Amino acid sequence: MNVDLYEKFWMWAAAGIVVVFIASIGFTTFGQAIQPPSHIETIDPQTVRSDEEFGQPGVTINPDGSATVVVQAFLFAFLPTEIRVPRGRPVTFRMTSPDVIHGFQIVQTNGNTMVVPGYVSQFTISFDRAGEYLVVCNEYCGLGHHNMYARLIVEDVVAAAAGGER
């Protein structure tokens, strides 16, 4: 079998690229212990509803003016269904699920995470614009998935301090 010189060149180049990719993945994984970014915190999915933090989901306004929002995602709803947070302040969302994988996406923002049973998902975001945002589940979680949504209301600091604390 006669293989043309140019074909040999491209076969060796392709094999070389594959070797470089595998070597770089192995080096970063094992040599540098680089893991996917995550807030690794676990929770027993069977005790989510009775957990000290997640048993009473809601919004807490911290002394520095930031907010912490605790959310439960379960078939086919978010708790709380209405979330009120202050505008222009950091808002930390902490969430978990007792049943299946869900998504948590704040539409028209970059707030988006997966909610995995047994893990606590967390991200922090600030809202520059007051108003109402839609929160949807963007991971298919079952037949009622299309009904899984919540409302996020971003208020001026004065209005948020008056109500919405848990």
Burial of 70 (0-12, 13-18, 19+ CB in 10 A): buried
Closest alpha carbon to 64 in 41, 39, 84, 92: 92
Cis peptide before 63 (omega within 30 of 0): no
Catalytic (active-site) positions: 74, 76
Question: What is the residue whose two structure tokens read 């969302």?
Answer: 93
